[in-house]
């Protein structure tokens, strides 16, 4: 009888231990699940926060660029227009020998005014909205060629389509940053931008034949530019790949869905 009671006691204790162990496992699994959910929520919250911060920064930048555009157009542009008018008035009262010099000066002012107006348009986000991404990039390419600073080319493949205003402005700013870095640092002779329109996405390849740079070890100014490029691409969910080799140039690949 005692042996039976002992067996029953052992069985009961075993069952209790199994139940406690199972309860502990279930509790640990529940705790781990809650912990994982909490971490994921924290990560999502942080990502949303960073996205909003980046969006706010970009909005501030766009507003600043728009203000600069207005200043160039309304103030500097008007001053140059007045200067050109005054030169034209003075020109008639000068001897023939000096008229040529004044005329050449007037031509320089006219070209400067034209370039300033072009720069003003490229800075103004409203112009990009109205012209669209493709025409805006074409305008920049023509401006580079007109300035005679680099041999620039735009290649279009496939049937073009429009993206949202936000995506087009951000893609334009990314390409503008790349082009500015090419002109300032690359010592390149050629710049090519290729638009490849596919069924559901737009692929863009921008490349130069400059001296290249070390993507990891770079100056503060270029580093900020690269950060801007990456943060802008992330904001619209665009895939981005930037590569550069010494004396082989730099390539920027972008892929953005409709």
As to burial, measured by CB atoms within 10 angstroms (0-12 exposed, 13-18 middle, 19+ buried), residue 186 is buried
Residue 192: partners with Cβ closer than 8 Å, 6 or more residues away: 152, 153, 154, 155, 205, 206, 207, 208
Do 104 and 208 fall within a single domain? Answer: no
Same domain (yes/no): 145, 109: no
pLDDT of residue 135: 93
Torsions phi, psi for 253 (to 5 deg): -110, 130
Cα dihedral 220, 250, 243, 174, rounded to 10, equals: 70
Count CA atoms closer than 13 A to 168's CA, side-chain side: 20
Same-domain status, 141 and 118: no
Q: What is the mean pLDDT of each run of 10 residues along the chain (258 residues)?
A: 71 83 85 80 70 66 73 76 79 75 81 81 84 92 89 95 91 92 91 95 95 69 71 90 89 94
Domain with residue 243: its CATH number is 3.30.565.10
Terminal CA-CA length for the chain: 81
Q: Which helix (H) or strand (E) holds 122?
A: helix 96-123
pLDDT for 105 equals 81
Helix (H, G, I), strand (E, B) or coil at 110: helix
Q: Which of 82, 106, 123 is the last residue of a domain?
A: 123
Residue where a domain stops, chosen among 123, 153, 176: 123
- Buried/exposed code over 201-231 (b: 16+ C-beta within 10 A; e: otherwise): ebbbbbbbbbbbbeeeeeeeeeeebbebbeb
Q: Examine the fold and report which residue of 89, 106, 123 is the final residue of a domain before the chain moves on.
A: 123
Do 1 and 119 have their domain in common?
yes
Structure tokens that stand for 185 in this block: 């640092």
Q: Domain check: are 139 and 118 in the same one?
A: no
- Look up the pTM and report it: 0.70
For residue 92, the enclosing domain spans 1-123
Tell me: do 100 and 145 sit in the same domain: no
In a shared domain, residues 14 and 97: yes
Number of domains in the chain: 2
Q: CB atoms < 10 A from the CB of 237, how many?
A: 10
pLDDT of residue 51: 67
Identify the pLDDT of residue 221.
54
Same domain, residue pair 234 and 163: yes
């Amino acid at each position: 009888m005692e042996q039976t009671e002992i067996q029953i006691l052992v069985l009961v204790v075993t069952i209790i231990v199994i139940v406690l162990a199972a309860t502990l496992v279930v509790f640990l699994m529940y705790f781990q699940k809650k912990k994982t959910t909490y971490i994921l929520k924290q990560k999502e919250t942080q990502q949303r926060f960073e996205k909003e911060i980046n969006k706010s920064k970009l909005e501030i930048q766009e507003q600043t660029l728009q203000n600069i555009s207005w200043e160039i157009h309304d103030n500097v542009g008007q001053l140059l227009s007045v200067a050109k008018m005054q030169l034209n008035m003075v020109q008639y009262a000068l001897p023939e020998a000096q008229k040529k010099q004044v005329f050449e000066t007037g031509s320089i002012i006219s070209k400067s005014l034209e370039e300033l107006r072009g720069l003003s348009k490229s800075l103004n986000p409203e112009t990009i909205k109205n012209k669209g991404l493709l025409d805006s990039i074409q305008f920049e390419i023509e401006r580079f060629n007109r300035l005679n600073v680099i041999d620039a080319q735009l290649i279009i493949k496939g049937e073009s389509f429009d993206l949202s205003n936000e995506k087009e402005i951000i893609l334009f700013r990314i390409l503008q940053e790349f082009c500015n870095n090419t002109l300032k640092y690359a010592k390149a002779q050629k710049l090519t931008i290729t638009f490849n329109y596919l069924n559901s996405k737009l692929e863009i390849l921008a490349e130069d034949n400059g001296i290249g740079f070390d993507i990891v070890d770079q100056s503060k100014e270029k580093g900020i530019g690269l950060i801007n490029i990456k943060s802008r691409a992330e904001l619209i969910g665009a895939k981005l790949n930037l590569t550069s080799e010494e004396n082989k140039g730099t390539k920027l690949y972008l892929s953005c869905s409709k």
